[in-house]
Structure 1
Amino acid sequence: MGNKKYSKRQSNKSSDTFGCLPTNKRNTGPASTARKLTRVDADTKGARHVPLSQVAIDVIRQIKRRDGARYLFPSRFDPAKPLGSIKHSWQTARYEAKLGDLRIHDLRHSAASFMINSGVDLFAVGRVLGHACYQSTQRYSHLANDTLLAAVEAGAKKQAVDWAA
């Protein structure tokens, strides 16, 4: 019962939650863009820190903040509270970008695939995705193997040795 891993989401009013970045000028705290981390309170696994790329940081810094909002995506009705759901916003963005039935989870899968195909090891990808065990990340292992095979083929082609002769 007391095991944090299996307990309900811990509420910490003084810390940042989903989509929140500090509004103070010192740029400190758990969601500091200076540290390229943001805190995400997931519904099922509790809060964790997620690394952000510089491109993501640059995009976040361009988002106009509402007065009195401590969240990057505040509630329409109360800027002191986080946005409850992104369902409508996601559907609108998807429609305007002509992305069909693309799900947010598809973007997460694509990001993992891009990391693997760029040579990032499965352990690091699993940590970025927040996987608690390596088996969850194993579904991407075929991508790592494909990348390794492509590397071997590129090396063999570069050698240009005709072993059959």
Structure 2
Amino acid sequence: MNADNPRRATSRATDRPGDASPFALGLLLRQAHWRVSAVMTEALRPLGIEVRHFAVLLVLVNRGPTVQRDLVAATGSDKAGIMRVVDDLEHKGLAVRKAVPGDRRVRAVEITPRGVELFDAAHVAAEPLAERLVADLEPGEPEQLRDLLTRFAYPAGGEG
């Protein structure tokens, strides 16, 4: 380092509340994700599924029958991971693979009535745990947090 190029003073990442480093937002989001993931896991465990299974059921409920390559994109998984999840869901009777007319190599995954029942039961099981997650927030703050995170995750300009 020379006098012409002084090192700019910046905060170093600490991974503690109040961190002002350039990594602070990412570190907070990571910590929040871990906390929410633990609560979701707790809600889903008695139902015999994991968060990765719920993620696929969520896509199937919202989109209807979906080809496996689209499940990869929708869940942020990889091809092998989706294959294992769909295998698990089929084994549990929560989803089925069906041939796609016109392309015998492609299979669409469809949620079963039992899968829909379990999906709905997961919401019931998660309700008290979700309330516990935001128990330390003031009235109106859970909605504000949801709004801010939604705008952050889905920017108006479509940036990502």
TM-score (norm 1): 0.29
The structure whose residues are more often helix, as a share, is 2
